Chain A
């Protein structure tokens, strides 16, 4: 049993970062396939059966004689392997933030998907700017919410009230990590809607 606070912070951390399960399982499956192949090839060569691709002894010879093969192929293959390896190392060390934010509540841990926050902000901004909700686009990153409004042809959107309304609603959510807001009015306008 752990205390509620450490339990909640553990859950909050785990729910906002990626478990990296998909990648780990994919790699594990690839390694399993390689192991199965190596085991089958070894068993075939031990029982004197013909090899599937090459016998272990032939593979060892090829490995030893690698320096004598075509050099540019070695360069490219080595570089690709090194880059993939580097990417895997980076992925294993970075947190992998999921598109979610925490909403402070005393009794529970609340995790909000960014699309929910975005759609609430879009509704607020579209009311305030007097456009159809479909003409309000919101994109949310970890620290920033950008609201883009497309005005109806022949009308103007007062930016300041929209800015205030969006900022006020964001601060009422009190999400963590906190989001700063930005309101953009698209330069093109749309007929209707």
Chain B
């Protein structure tokens, strides 16, 4: 229902996994393959000297350090900011507006999501097969969509629950004069029984 970018989640996990695997395999190869180890011992110091030279060739005034350190810190800060945005963007997508009708000569009609949410919650509140109902509205790719989440009582047929909700949704359709996309989630909140049930003879 929410607008979490799942492709991005999976890409991020994939990249971290690939990095870990490549580094892990390289480190293990360093100890398991003598040829790789001697190659490493032959080339790694030279590469490090090259990096040191670049570092020394870009001095920052006369502070004894290099511009590169500042660049590294800036790069790390950018990465941190990007990751924070990535985290904060998860699970968004709620909306307050259900319908915004096109202009007529008399103006615009706007219907708040709360109208449909309250109507559905009210219609389902006194159903014996449901323990609780919560309704929220999400913006799914530009289409306001109602999310009806109900908790069914133990042993109730999900088919029956779905028919109950469908009747309420049809009633809402006729009130609003149009069909809003609806997603129904039927869950259970069955507490495990910790003691044996009482028997009466």
Interface residues of A (CB under 8 A from B): 1-2, 4, 7-8, 10-11, 14-15, 19-21, 23-25, 27-29, 31-32, 35-36, 38-39, 42-43, 45-46, 48, 56, 60-61, 63-64, 66-68, 71-72, 74-75, 77-89, 91-93, 103, 105, 107-113, 115-117, 119-120, 122-123, 132-134, 169, 172-173, 192-193
Q: How far is the CB of B154 from chain A (nearest CB, A)?
A: 5
- What CA separation (Å) do A57 and B150 show in the bound complex? 59
Q: Is the CB of A66 within 8 A of B27?
A: yes
Chain B residues within an 8 Å CB radius of A111: 183-186
In which size bucket is the chain B interface?
35 or more
Within 8 A of A (CB), among B88-127: 90-91
Smallest Cβ-Cβ distance to B170: which chain A residue: A107
Within 8 A of A (CB), among B168-201: 169-170, 173, 179, 181-188, 190, 193, 196-197, 199
B interface, over-half SS: helix
Interface residues of B (CB under 8 A from A): 1, 4, 6, 8-14, 16-32, 37, 40-41, 44-45, 47-48, 51, 63-65, 69-70, 72-73, 76-77, 79-80, 83-84, 86-87, 90-91, 140-143, 145, 148, 152, 154-159, 161-162, 165-166, 169-170, 173, 179, 181-188, 190, 193, 196-197, 199
> Contact partner of B44 among A7, A35, A64, A115, CB < 8 A?
A64
> How many Cβ-Cβ contacts under 8 Å join chain A to chain B?
254
Q: Is the CB of B182 within 8 A of A109?
A: yes
Q: Is the CB of B169 within 8 A of A25?
A: no
Chain A residues within an 8 Å CB radius of B69: 42-43, 45-46, 56
Listed by A's residue number, 25 A-B pairs whose Cβ atoms lie within 8 Å are A2-B141, A8-B181, A11-B140, A20-B10, A32-B84, A35-B76, A36-B76, A39-B80, A42-B76, A46-B69, A61-B48, A79-B28, A84-B24, A85-B20, A89-B13, A105-B184, A107-B169, A110-B158, A110-B186, A111-B185, A113-B188, A116-B186, A120-B155, A172-B159, A173-B159
